Structure 1
Amino acid sequence: MFTDLADAQASAATYIDYCNHERLHASLDYQFPYLAHQQLLSSTALNCPA
C-alpha cells in the first residue's frame, strides 16, 4: 500500500495525470480528456459575449 500520506498523494497525482494525458476515453470519441478540454475552450472562447 502506501508508506505515508505524501506517497498516497503522489500516487493519486500520477494516476490523474495518466487519465488526463495518456488514456483515451471512449466517451470523448477516443481522445485524451486534456485535449478535448482544450478544444472546448478554444471553440467557446470565440463565442464568448464578453
Structure 2
Amino acid sequence: MHTPGGITFPHAEQAIRTTRTHTTSGKTSRETVYLTVSLPADQAQPADLQD
C-alpha cells in the first residue's frame, strides 16, 4: 500500500526523519532516526510528535 507521499507502511499517514548529532571527547557522530505515524497531519502536528 502506498500513500500519496510515498510512505510504504500500512496505515502510515506521516513519516518523520530526525538527525541527531552527538559530540563526545571531541568526536562527532550523526544518527538518523525515522518515525511513522498513523495520524494525519491535522491530528498530529510537528509539535505534538516531538515529544
What TM-score, normalized to structure 2? 0.19
- Structure having the higher helix fraction is 1
What TM-score, normalized to structure 1? 0.19
Larger radius of gyration: 1
Higher relative contact order (CA 8 A, sep 6+): 2
